[in-house]
Structures are given as C-alpha cells and as structure tokens.
Amino acid sequence: MRTVPKEDFMDIREYLIKRRAIVDKELGILIPASDAQPKRIYQSIAHALKGGKRIRPILCLACAEAVGARAKDALKAACAIEMIHTYSLIHDDLPCMDDDDYRRGRPTVHKKFGVAHAVLAGDALLTEAFDVLASSTPSDKRNIRIIKILSRAAGIAGMIAGQSADINTRVKDFAVQEYINIHKTGALIAASCKIGAIAGCAKEKDVQALQKFGEYIGLVFQVTDDIIDSEGSSGLMGKKRAFEYAQELTETAKNLIKHFSKQANHLCLIADFILNRKI
Amino acid sequence: MRTVPKEDFMDIREYLIKRRAIVDKELGILIPASDAQPKRIYQSIAHALKGGKRIRPILCLACAEAVGARAKDALKAACAIEMIHTYSLIHDDLPCMDDDDYRRGRPTVHKKFGVAHAVLAGDALLTEAFDVLASSTPSDKRNIRIIKILSRAAGIAGMIAGQSADINTRVKDFAVQEYINIHKTGALIAASCKIGAIAGCAKEKDVQALQKFGEYIGLVFQVTDDIIDSEGSSGLMGKKRAFEYAQELTETAKNLIKHFSKQANHLCLIADFILNRKI
C-alpha cells in the first residue's frame, strides 16, 4: 500500500478547501454574476453554481498535479466540467424529469426562476462550457482532445443515455441502476481525471492510468452515494458489504497510480475522502 | 449589380435540393436513426431533424464554395450548425417556452415523445454538435476557431439572450423585437456564413466579408419572416415597405461579395431566394 509522508502535503481538508476556492474564483470570472445581461440567465446560473462540493473539478486539478503540472494548468477545463455537471443538475431537477424542489440545500433553479429559465440556464452552461474548453490550454490539439472527451462523456452515449434510462425505467433492478450510475455519474468523473491528465501534459500511459483511476473512483462515488442514501439502520449488513466493496475499488484505483511521484499523494487522499464521506 | 452567367451554375432550386440532400445524408451518418441506443433519444432527434429547409447549413456550404473550396470541406460544420438550430427549436417549442404543438408540419418532439425526452433530445443535439465540430476540418486550429464562433452565437450573448428576452418581455416594441430577432436568428445565420468561409480556408478579409454578408442575410431572413407571418391583406402598405427594405439589405449583402469569383454566384442566388421566399 502507498505510504504518504505527512510533511509533503497539505491536510486533505485544507487541500479541498483551497482547490475549491480556486475553482469558485475562476467560475466567478468566467460567468460574471451580478449585473451582466441577460440578467435572469446570469442570476439563474449563479444560483445553480453555488454550494457544490466541486468534486469533479478538484479531481481534474489533482490529476494535473499528479503528473507534475500546476493546478492552474487544468483550471479552465475543471471549470467547464463543473459547468456541465451543473447544467445536468438543473435539467435533471426539472418538473418533467425528477421534479426536485431543493438542490445543494437551496430551491432548485426552476422553483426560483421558473421552468423556462431553468431550461435556458442549463442550455447556457452547456454551451458556454465548450467556449471555455476551446481556450482551456495553450494547445489547440489538447483542447480539441479535451472537447471530444467531454462531449462524449456528456453526450448521447454518456450522461444523456443515463438520464434517458433513468426516466424510461420504472422498476430498476441492479443491472439497470448500474447502467444509469455509470452513465450519469461515472462517465463525467472518469472524464474529469483524464482531462486533468491531458491538461497537465501527461505522458500517454499516465493519461490512461488516470482515466482508469477515474473509472474506479466513479464507482466508489456511486457506492458511497447508495450507502448515504439508504436510510436508517435496517440495512446494516448490506451497508457493511457495500462499504467493503467501495474499499476494494478505492485500493484498486490507488494501485493504478502507485508508481506516480509524491505529487499524486493528494489524489490518493481524495480517493479516501470520497470513500469515507458522509454527505 | 453582379451579373450571373447562366451556364456556370445550376438552377438555384436544383442547387438547394442537391445541397440539402448532402446535408441530410451526412446528418443520417452522424446521428444514426434506427435501432441505436438509447432508442427514444435517437428517435426524438430523428423526428426533430426531419423536414427542415436547411437554410443555415446550405449557407455554410455555399460560403465555402464561394471562396473556392468544395462543399464537403464545410459539411461537418454545416451539420453541426443544423444540429444546434434543431436543438433550439425543440427547446423553444417546450410547454414552458412557446408551447407549440406543431413544427415543420409535424407534432413537436414533446408532443410525440414527452417533455422529458424533448429536453434530453435538445441537450443531446447541442452536446453532439460540439463533438462533430471537434473533427469538422483537418485542422485543430480551424476547428477551435469554429467552436468558439458557434458557442458564442448559440450561447449567453447569442441565441440564449434572444430566447430569454422573448420569454421575459410581454409587450414587444420594435426595438425589443429587433433585439430578439438578431440574437435568436441573426447570430446563427451570420455564424453559418463565417464558419463556411473558415472551413473553406478563406483569406481573412473574405472571412470578414462573408460574416458581414451573413449579418445582412440574417436581417433579410427576419424581415421576410415577418412579411410571411403578417396575415391577410390588411397591412399591404407595410408589407410593401418591408419588402423594399429587405431588397436593399439583399443588395448590400451581395455588394459585399461582388469582387468574389463566379464561384460565389450560388450564394448571391440564395440571398435572392431568401428575399423572395413565401414559406
């Protein structure tokens, strides 16, 4: 098992807080909130962006750092990923989809700004994300590669397929739920890691390793989501087995990058953080 | 005024039919309709794509041809433009927006496939359009430029701003309606022409000329739309004045490219076609 020398890195909570602040600051620059026109769209977007944990963009930054780059080298790509994640939340919450009234502890966009502006705010975030990606690194070649990865993770074969299955299927057995999870959640988490590696100019074998790492972390994320969502103590044995499964997945993920330098330490700690999270 | 030697070109109706067929064939390859999964998404998209006049993608192809390139050099970009146009129609038709039951002579997507899948089909078309653009020409540099142009035409400062104003404003005076038209319709038509020029490897001054040409043609399109939409014979004088204005705009547009070679002939004829169209 990988050992992490304490002196070489920030405490993981400190790391997450600092990276989250960097992402939030850049998002504020990319999407100016206050008085920009059209005002209602900007207000809807600002409302939707508030309060997220930023796990996907932080994974993106940490993967860039894991291959020796600076967090800021992947910052624009990370923000585009959060924009696409947020667009999907806005649209998934719509009355015609999951019909949710609250998200991130606040009223959903359609509750506060109306359904039409919720649709438009999602459309705007999705569209603007690609504008951000088009100049996210100094290399057109890398930017094109990143755009392809993200459009496929978010597109018909990715997030859209997951949401379509979620809506279409009333009774969800294990296989259906796994399909939905992998497409709705896993695809974007794996893409976040791969994109961070590419933005950080990683060698091709490291790009592949971090994509695989992302796929396993995506699974961990889904399993821990299920543990958190299952209420009360009725399913304690099931929860224990699920947690053991998540532990195995986390170890497999960390093993994929065990040959990386100490700059990958935070990434391993994020994996542990996702495994052990309570919210 | 530009003279168009008859022997050098196809009849404009023949040209439009042939270019439309090329676009439709490529769209069928990019978005396979029949049995692909998720089936309901593919069916919704295929339904939405049917029956359009393809004015935007044909303008894109004609602009590539006007600068001496082949139509197929701009074909993928043209299809991406039609995908973005179609996404905007699907979302604009939603019950929360304009609540339309028919589009292109057939039931709207939400009427046939439900509101949730109409939202998703639009999201899918928008996302996949950027995947298509990422490999639309052999040059990463040109593709990035095209992605920026299209994301801005479709984004917060373009089509989204127009639709937001359309929803927000109950009483629409001339200035408000003009703002809505320019953003909802004009931005994408101008972008179509500019993108065709770039995909056709035009010199920078020709790119600028074709963008301007597209801005005027966008205005012509809106004025003729208004003429078509105004019912009966009650406003005959108003219609006559509007048509004269559209004629002036068309002449201005054609003058912008009067120094182009005869390969720009079809583009001028498309301008006349848009001016004189009855549907």
pLDDT of residue A8: 55
CATH 3.30.565.10 holds for A6-276: no
pLDDT of residue B239: 87
Within 13 A of B77's CA, how many CA atoms are on the CB side? 35
Position of tokens 């074998």?
A: A205
Mean pLDDT of B68-87: 98
Give the whole-angstrom CA distance, residue B267 versus residue B103. 27
Residues of chain A under the 70 pLDDT cut = 1-9, 33-35, 231-234
pLDDT per residue as tens digits for the range A179-204: 999 999 999 999 999 999 999 999 99
- All residues of chain B having their beta carbon less than 8 Å from the beta carbon of residue A167 are 116-117, 120
Contact across the interface for A128 and B151, Cβ inside 8 Å: yes
Closest-CA distance of chain B to residue A88, Å: 9
Position of tokens 């919720």?
A: A118
Decide if B261 touches A, using CB distance below 8 A: no
pLDDT of B1 higher than 50: no
pLDDT of residue A35: 67
- All residues of chain A having their beta carbon less than 8 Å from the beta carbon of residue B119 are 91, 94, 96-97, 119
Strands (E), chain B: 102-103, 106-107
pLDDT of residue B8: 55
Contact across the interface for B131 and A147, Cβ inside 8 Å: yes
Distance of alpha carbon B206 from the chain centroid? 20
Tokens of A167: 């809506």
pLDDT per residue as tens digits for the range B128-173: 999 999 999 999 999 999 999 999 999 999 999 999 999 988 888 8
Give the whole-angstrom CA distance, residue A159 versus residue A155. 6
pLDDT of residue A234: 57
pTM for this predicted structure: 0.95
Contact across the interface for B156 and A124, Cβ inside 8 Å: yes
Angle between helices B204-229 and B236-256 (to 10 degrees): 170
Contact across the interface for A119 and B119, Cβ inside 8 Å: yes
Decide if B238 touches A, using CB distance below 8 A: no
Q: Please name the helix (run of DSSP H) or strand (run of DSSP E) that holds residue B256, with its range, or none.
A: helix B236-256
- All residues of chain B having their beta carbon less than 8 Å from the beta carbon of residue A97 are 116, 119
Choices 3.20.20.60, 3.40.50.12160, 3.40.228.10, 1.10.600.10: CATH for B9-276: 1.10.600.10
Contact across the interface for A38 and B117, Cβ inside 8 Å: no
Decide if B239 touches A, using CB distance below 8 A: no
Which ipTM score applies to this complex?
A: 0.94
Residues 145-184 of A with CB under 8 A from B: 147-148, 151-152, 154-156, 160-161, 163-165, 167-168
SS3 B59: helix
